[in-house]
Structure formats: structure tokens, C-alpha cells
Amino acid sequence: MTFASPEDKFGIKVQSGRAPRTLEQNFSMIAGSIYVVGGIIGFFITGFSNITEMTNHALLGVFMLNPYHNIVHLVIGSLWLIAAFALTPAGTEGLNIAIGGVYALATLLGFMGYLSLLSIPSGMAGDNWLHLVSALAPLVFGSGLLRAMGGRQPATA
């Protein structure tokens, strides 16, 4: 039985060889590591009960958490790490744009008060500002804006 490669199956090229890491991949590696570690530390704070309830558990006294919020951080961080280590530079840029879009939506919904499922209060809460930064940074790295400023050639697929 033969297996189809990811490229044949989904049209996604996987990194091959030891090409130098791009700025976008380095960003994905750092952001992914921070989010995975934050998700793991979050479970030490919240435990595993009251999964989707509004809690008073806070990371660093600012960022409200519940177990479901920790799971979301682990998933997003894992996606970033996959982008950093398995995808081509163009694939990494695309995933950065997608994650930036998700966080832009989370920022809007958080400020409006629709993310109580993740224990995020409405208004000027620390989580909403973190989500704004978590939206802008990957959008900048995914759009190629820094590459255009630095004069590097565009990433190829």
C-alpha cells in the first residue's frame, strides 16, 4: 500500500532539506513556543474543571483563563510550530495570515463581550489587547511587509 505525499493529497509542499529559515518561520517558531508554553502553564492555574465557564483564574494577574482557553492556545501554538518546521516559507506566510485573521476576529468578539466561553471579559481586558497584538504581528509577518522593506526576494512555493 502506498501513501500519498501531503503535496499530492492537499497541494501543500512540505519543506525538504536544510534551507535557511526565513523571518516568517522564525516568528512562527517563537510565537508557537510562547502559546504552547502559555497553554501548558494555564492548566497549572485552572486545572481541568469548569472547562467553559467564566472563572477568576488569571495568568500573570492579567489574562483570564479557563481550560478551554488553554486548549485553544495549545492548538494555535501547535499550528504555528507546524508552520515553522514543516511548511515552506509561502505556506508559513499563509498560515500566519490565517491565524492573524482568527485573532482579529477574536479581538473584535472579545471587546464586544462574546467570548465568555473562553473566560474573556468584555471591554478593555488584557486578553483583548493580547489578541490585538496576536492579530497584527502574524498579519505583518504573513503579508511579506517586512520582506518588502528589507529588499529580500519573495518566498517561493
pLDDT tens series, the chain, 157 aa: 567 776 777 776 665 656 678 888 899 999 999 999 999 988 888 888 877 776 776 677 667 788 888 899 999 999 999 999 888 888 888 999 999 999 999 899 888 888 776 767 777 777 889 889 989 999 988 887 766 666 555 555 5
pLDDT of residue 89: 85
φ, ψ for residue 33 (rounded to 5)? -65, -45
Q: Which among 66, 77, 75, 76 is positioned nearest to 115, based on CA atoms?
A: 66
φ, ψ for residue 20 (rounded to 5)? -60, 145
Count CB atoms within 10 A of the CB of residue 105: 12
20, 49, 58, 91, 157 from 29: Cα distances, Å = 14, 30, 25, 14, 19
pLDDT of residue 14: 64
